[in-house]
């Protein structure tokens, strides 16, 4: 029996609307099994690994957008090759792509290259903007959210709240919570 499997991902917990939209689209496409996570594409993606392990010959993997699945063109190529070896077809909804056809596979590779180029251009513009802001003395960087909440994380941990729950309540990663708890003997707290 073949399965229609969906994979949804957003980079942060704040992207609730986008995450819910992905889940709705995947369910509407008939996904009988959903793998979902809210982690950066560069972080370890346990649900993606579980999804890839779950897939069997004849199954279909559906994602709403290419960037929800792959980090870059090289990663996309690895994933597509692995899916092909397993006999799994990939569908990318926003592009209308289906790798079960030669044309779909070609277009997917071309779109992946264009997406990576676009991302690199965006990062270059961002770096230029930061350099300009620094030269004008306007750039201060991102506020260290997790460090500002280190004391609260330690207090919650002392109350017996799990690291996962602390992370969810404070809107930070579990790794940040772990670091905050580990640094409890720090000479100063970040406020």
C-alpha–C-alpha distance, residues 79 and 74, integer Å = 9
Element (H, E) at 170: helix 163-170
Q: Is 11 a catalytic residue?
A: yes
**DSSP conformational letter for 146:** H
Q: Give me the phi and psi of 56, to 5 degrees please.
A: -125, 165
Closest residue by Cα to residue 60 from 1, 102, 5, 103: 5
Measured over the CA atoms of residue 66, residue 119, residue 76 and residue 97, the dihedral's sign is: positive
Out of 11, 162, 173, 186, which one is annotated catalytic? 11
d(Cα 114, Cα 160) in Å, to the nearest integer? 48
Residue 30, CA atoms < 13 Å, CB-side half-sphere: 6
How far apart (Å, rounded) are the C-alpha atoms in residues 99 and 6? 15
Instruction: Give the distance from CA 102 to its chain's centroid.
Output: 28
Q: Enumerate the active-site residues.
A: 11
């Amino acid at each position: 029996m073949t399965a229609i499997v969906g994979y949804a991902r957003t980079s942060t917990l704040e992207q609730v609307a986008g995450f819910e939209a992905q889940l709705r689209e995947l369910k509407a496409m008939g996904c009988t099994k959903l793998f979902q996570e809210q982690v950066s594409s560069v972080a370890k993606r346990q649900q993606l690994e579980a999804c890839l392990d779950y897939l069997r010959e004849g199954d279909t993997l559906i994602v709403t957008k290419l960037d929800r699945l792959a980090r870059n063109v090289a990663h996309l190529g690895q994933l597509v090759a692995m899916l092909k070896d397993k006999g799994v077809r990939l569908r990318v909804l926003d592009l209308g792509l289906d790798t079960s056809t030669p044309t779909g596979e070609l277009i997917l590779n071309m779109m992946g290259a264009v997406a990576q180029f676009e991302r690199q251009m965006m990062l270059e513009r961002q770096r230029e903007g930061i350099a300009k802001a620094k030269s004008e003395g306007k750039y201060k960087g991102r506020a260290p959210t997790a460090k500002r909440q280190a004391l609260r994380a330690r207090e919650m941990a002392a109350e017996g709240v799990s690291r996962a729950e602390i992370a969810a309540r404070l809107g930070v990663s579990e790794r940040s919570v772990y670091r905050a708890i580990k640094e409890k003997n720090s000479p100063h707290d970040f406020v």
